[in-house]
Structure 1
Amino acid sequence: WLENVGSGFILLALVYMFWSVINRYGDEITANLVNMEGTWGVPFWGATMLFLGIYSTMMLNVSDYSRELKEGTKPGLLTTIYAMSILPCTLFMGLIGLMVSGATGVSDPIQVFSSAVDNTPLLIITLLFIAFAQVTTNVLNNVVPPTYILMDVFKLKFRTSTIIVGLLAFCTFPWELVKEESSAGLQMFVQTYSAFLGPIFAVMVVDYFILRRRKLDIDKLYDENGPYKGVNYAAVIAALAGAVVALTFSSVSWYASLLPAGITYYLLMQNWKPCERFRN
């Protein structure tokens, strides 16, 4: 219920924020954004790559969310749930950030929102709930997946794993990362880890959609002594090959890694004898 209430309110808050920014900075937005000449070159694709690099962590960990769904949830409803939970808020946040930075030169949407809203009690309530909703969102996106990993690798309890993840998150000093002077380093960080997440994404897509045609034997998949025991080195080699290409084209690392990793994985799985047991 916490997630549902928080996500619903943050969407309403973003709609209100969107309206407030347009109402206060409409002329500046028209002059600086609507009438500006743009480009579809490398800077554009580099910017979208950073966006995808951040969201690829959720793409790869989607099983950590879907395992909580009740059995029998139909594909149509599942697609709607995922689309409504991600797309509206993501688009509003992106548009508000673009409008705010373009109109005022300030990159922090909350700072501009504070100056764009005249109703102080409403502003305080909205900002508090946005902060609250961000906490619930980050618990789902950034705490649940590593918690499951610690439980699986070190056989820890859920409560213990969650506390460790929280302490480790604190040790990364996230308040330093969001400072304006940290933006270049943060961009480099996203580009670097995207060079490894892109190939993993490509391997998973090729494996599931092309090689297995969306059919998995779950019992064999989780059988510690079954046919999938050990390491599939085709996936490791393909991921590393994609990462090498990605690091060579760091500004678009996520995109650059997809084809090399996917093609390498497909060829190895089809022709390399050590991979034969993984093909069954």
Structure 2
Amino acid sequence: TLTGFSEPWYVYGYFLLFQVLQSYLAWRGIQTLKWFNGVGSVVIAAVMIYLLVTIIQREGLVLKDSWYHEGSWGVPFWVALTGAIGVLATVMLNIGDISRHLKPSETRLWIGHAAGLAPPWFFMLGLGIISGASLGIWDPVEALVALSPSTSAMLLLLSFVLLAQFTTNLSINILPPAMIFMEAFKLSWHKSVILTGVLGALSCPWLLLGNAGAFFAFILYYSAFFGPILGVMLADYYLINRGRLDVKALYDSSDQSLYWFSGGLNWAGLIAVVVPAVVAMLFFLHVSWLVGLPAGFMLYLILYRLCYGSGSGVSIRKA
């Protein structure tokens, strides 16, 4: 069918319950999201440490047969890398939706990014490698189930996995679109969260998740746009504006705004996103993000200087 309802009814009941609960948490506001994510991160870290210690105690670090197989640093590696980056690209682009709620402090911001992003990421990566090498199970969730001492312990540990899903969705799947709805349609936070939850359910995500090929293709196609978007953002912030932005002017929609450009649109940015994205989808789909990022970066620098001058700090010459 068009909606793909092929699973037992309770699967969709679980999905709707999950959607309602996470929408309710988001509906309560940013402070609730910050509190929930803070508590959740501590619990999740504890579960991951438990899993690591249990694997080492039970299995040691003896490599299983599944570890030994022919690998490749050729096209398959770069395709897999593009897929992995594509999943995380949304976090890269939307991190400002979270960091904007922090107290202004450049030092604290760098410390938070260094301590809160890199170590957990490498720890999870290492945990996946150790799990695959010692157990032959590459999915940490499956490893958690396999190593659970009892059914009750397994259910408890899986509840923590569910908690991890909540924290992820609240931060990168609900917050960004809700803020976009607020800005684009002048909706309240509550209405924006409800709209996000409804659209998320109507998108029938199980259609993608139920087909690995379709899901991977979806990642590659949207990565074709996310690569150039990040390239434009990096070029504009670090090279054009020298790391400085007039935040107040960003929210000024009048034609006197510092960022009005041409008719309210930065055509250099739009072209630098669309053209590399289309080229990547047509000719380099399997490495779309890797191609789109540098292409968008360079094209934006060229077009910006042609359209608006060299740019210096926030002194942007309007066309």
Q: What TM-score results when the alignment is normalised by the length of structure 2?
A: 0.76
Q: Is the 8 A contact 2:284 2:291 kept in 1?
A: yes
Question: 1:246 maps to which residue?
Answer: 280
Q: Is the 8 A contact 2:227 2:289 kept in 1?
A: yes
Give the count of matched residue pairs. 275
Question: 1:272 maps to which residue?
Answer: 307
Q: Does 1:111 align with 2:142?
A: yes
Instruction: Select between 93-102 and 117-126 the one with higher mean Cα deviation.
Output: 93-102
Instruction: Select between 253-262 and 99-108 the one with higher mean Cα deviation.
Output: 99-108
Kindly report the root-mean-square deviation, in angstroms, between the aligned alpha carbons of the 2 structures. Answer: 2.7
Written as runs of structure 1 = structure 2, the 5 A alignment for 1:169-208 is: 169-179=200-210, 182-208=211-237
C-alpha distance 99-221 of structure 1, shift in aligned 2 (>3 A): same
Write the distance in 2 (CA, Å) between the matches of 1:135 and 1:54: 17
C-alpha distance 135-49 of structure 1, shift in aligned 2 (>3 A): same
C-alpha distance 220-244 of structure 1, shift in aligned 2 (>3 A): same
Written as runs of structure 1 = structure 2, the 5 A alignment for 1:8-87 is: 8-23=42-57, 29-33=63-67, 36=69, 38-71=71-104, 73=105, 75-87=106-118
Q: What TM-score results when the alignment is normalised by the length of structure 1?
A: 0.86
CA-CA distance at 1:97 after TM superposition = 4.2
Deviations 1:217-244 (A, max 9, x none): 2232222121322001111111112113
Instruction: Select between 49-58 and 144-153 the one with higher mean Cα deviation.
Output: 49-58
What code does the residue aligned with 1:242 have?
Answer: P
Give ranges in structure 2 of 5+ residues lacking alignment: 1-34
Identity of aligned residues (%): 35
C-alpha distance 154-82 of structure 1, shift in aligned 2 (>3 A): same
Q: Is the 8 A contact 1:49 1:252 kept in 2?
A: yes
CA-CA distance at 1:199 after TM superposition = 0.3
Deviations 1:73-102 (A, max 9, x none): 2x3321232233333443344444455567
Deviations 1:155-208 (A, max 9, x none): 1111111011111112233344434xx111111100000000100100010011
Instruction: Determine helix, strand or coil for the equivalent of 1:272.
Output: helix
CA-CA distance at 1:29 after TM superposition = 3.5
Write the distance in 2 (CA, Å) between the matches of 1:192 and 1:102: 32
CA-CA distance at 1:211 after TM superposition = 1.0
What code does the residue aligned with 2:222 have?
Answer: Y
Question: 1:214 maps to which residue?
Answer: 243
Write the distance in 2 (CA, Å) between the matches of 1:189 and 1:26: 38
Write the distance in 2 (CA, Å) between the matches of 1:244 and 1:207: 21
Q: Is the 8 A contact 2:240 2:310 kept in 1?
A: no
Question: 1:136 maps to which residue?
Answer: 167
What code does the residue aligned with 2:225 have?
Answer: F
What code does the residue aligned with 1:217 have?
Answer: D
Q: Is the 8 A contact 2:37 2:167 kept in 1?
A: yes
CA-CA distance at 1:55 after TM superposition = 1.4
Deviations 1:21-77 (A, max 9, x none): 4555557744432x5554322222222221211111111112211111113x2x332
